[in-house]
Structure 1
Amino acid sequence: MKLLFLSTLLSFSVLITVHSQAKKEIYQFSKDIDSKIEKDSVKWKYQTGATDYSVGGYYKKALETWDKNGATIPVLTKEDSLYLTKFHPENAKNYIVNRSKKEKVIILNEAHNNARHRVFTTSLLQGLYDNGFRFLGLEALSDSLVNKRKFPVLESGYYTKESQFGNLIDTALKIGFTVFGYEDFETPNLSGKDREIKQAQNIAKWINNNPDGKFLIHCGYDHIIEGTPSIKSWEKAMAGRLTEITGINPFTIGQVRYSERGDPKLNQPYIQITNVAYPAILIDTDGNAFNGPMNNTQKVDCAIIHPITKYKNERPDWLDLSGNRKNYTIPNSKIKEFPALVLAYRINEFENEGIPADVIEILDNSKKGNLILTPGNYKIIVKNKDYKITNEFLLAVKK
């Protein structure tokens, strides 16, 4: 719980600090991120370092670096072990899509350093759209032109620069969602309490202006809590405030607590006990969803238990979006210098400051670089260790 305190307290201050900074090299070699972390002296250096790794496509390094913020090894009590025996796992995607038929507002959270959470939200989009959802609210988005432009750009937000966040937005727009941000980036020195209220008020405006609409909200960490938040000065988190303002009881889904950590010793025991190959929601014999330990006062409606990542061609297995994305192995002939950074952009987006659909680092010619891409046309950009473009070529990924 101490870690969630840290993540929530620091994420907004970091976000505000970097929100207006001049453009730097966004997608970096791992050695350069290592060097930056080593030289940095700010108290949140592991948080920003984990985010830099996430943006660069280094999933495991992002988790490992985040763990350096400090954490304790979780222990399952005897009471919680007995409580868990009442539940069985169901496929989380199928459960949520089916449940969405009777919901008006669904809220999922993410850890800002964990791209897997964005991929899971992406996996829900078509099913939710088919069930009437038309609006996607994103805490991290600060781009009023994204629906007109039809793709996110580097200035769309801080966390949205990460490829899987860009893919989430791109997929939503292609399906037909209206995408909006709801964070207040304009009011200076917002208290934590006022921030939660502002977020809820901004979402409520969209709901009031679209009374027949159904809304999916993707937020960070503790903003999803309907009960008592970890930070008592908030009094209520965004989800609780939204109910207070609109009278709507959102369906809240936590992704953070039961996701793998960089150090396996820090994984919640529930992951190993559940032991399934798919993201799961636990359901008891009365149809109630598991939402945490018995004494949990934070209150969300359910928690997703994500399985331990398996790797194929050195890439996380969940990147392929259940087979909807394809693997492309980059020929060594395309790489003129090592190490190389390879970025895959949707056509016309590289020239317009778009977000790459995938990014990989290739250290030497003994390594095979594998991009994981949705079928379509791409411009592939190859950079050397000095971030100079050494090659570019077009790629058509077939279904």
Structure 2
Amino acid sequence: MTNSWQKAMAGRLKEFTGIDPLTIDQQQWTEQSQIAQEHPLYRSMTLSQASVFTDATGQVYPGLSVGRTDIQVAHPRTQYQHGRPSWLLQAGRRKPYFLDPTQCQLKLPCLVQAYAREEPADPMQPTHQGVPLDILEITNWGDKKALILPPGNYRLVLRNGEGQQQELLARLK
């Protein structure tokens, strides 16, 4: 039987170079897709921001995996605004943009990709394809989901499962 952990990249770095890097685990204390998969201690936490625990002397508590990592970061549960994780709003630097259902001529569900207006968005030429700033699936207009974008001018590319496509221009102040 083998140890499923083996060595992580930091362990290999120390082995081959002698450098002992600072290691940070952000997995142990974060929400999972099912609460039953979460550590019981995480389930009991109430956090409003990412946190690192310290002991009474102010020393960083390395978590339950003593010796595996130097620091464990605990993350709060995701809160949602406009049908999206609130952290996407980046403390107000990005804003919600709601599509007008009357402008959409496609059958739902559809995928909406928001490109900066000057970026190319040609699905027929992948090498000329820009990178969307946000992507949103709309399955029902009643869900009231928003794209989350910084202020600017955008080209919205809508595609549905039947291969139909539509483009809209948008401006977010």
1:118-147 CA distance string (max 9 Å, x none): xxxxxxxxxxxxxxxxxxxxxxxxxxxxxx
Partner of residue 315, structure 1 = 84
C-alpha deviation, 1:380, in angstroms: 0.8
Paired residue type of 2:161: K
Is 1:263 paired with 2:34? yes
Is 1:237 paired with 2:13? no
1:11-53 CA distance string (max 9 Å, x none): xxxxxxxxxxxxxxxxxxxxxxxxxxxxxxxxxxxxxxxxxxx
Question: In the alignment, is the contact (CA less than 8 A) between 1:259 and 1:306 conserved in 2?
Answer: yes
Rounded to whole Å, the distance in 1 between the matches of 2:70 and 2:156 is 42
Rounded to whole Å, the distance in 1 between the matches of 2:92 and 2:18 is 39
Is 1:372 paired with 2:148? yes
Q: Secondary structure at the match of 1:307?
A: coil
C-alpha deviation, 1:349, in angstroms: 4.3
Is 1:344 paired with 2:149? no
Paired residue type of 1:345: Y
Rounded to whole Å, the distance in 2 between the matches of 1:376 and 1:305 is 34
1:344-389 CA distance string (max 9 Å, x none): 1233142422332211111234333300113333221111231321
C-alpha deviation, 1:260, in angstroms: 0.8
Compared with structure 1, are the counterparts of its residues 367 and 257 closer, same or farther at alpha carbon in structure 2 (3 Å cutoff)?
same
Rounded to whole Å, the distance in 1 between the matches of 2:25 and 2:172 is 34
The CA RMSD over aligned residues, in Å, is 2.4
Rounded to whole Å, the distance in 2 between the matches of 1:260 and 1:365 is 28
C-alpha deviation, 1:342, in angstroms: 0.8
**Superposition TM-score, scaled by structure 2 size:** 0.81
Report sequence identity in percent: 33
Give the one of 97, 104, 112 matched to 1:328: 97
Rounded to whole Å, the distance in 2 between the matches of 1:261 and 1:237 is 21
Partner of residue 136, structure 2 = 360
**Superposition TM-score, scaled by structure 1 size:** 0.38
C-alpha deviation, 1:328, in angstroms: 0.7
Partner of residue 125, structure 2 = none
Is 1:393 paired with 2:162? no
Task: Give 1:27-106 correspondences, 5 Å limit.
Answer: none
Question: In the alignment, is the contact (CA less than 8 A) between 1:359 and 1:371 conserved in 2?
Answer: yes
C-alpha deviation, 1:283, in angstroms: 1.6
Structure showing greater Rg: 2
Is 1:251 paired with 2:25? no
Rounded to whole Å, the distance in 1 between the matches of 2:39 and 2:120 is 40
Number of equivalences: 165
Question: In the alignment, is the contact (CA less than 8 A) between 1:344 and 1:380 conserved in 2?
Answer: yes
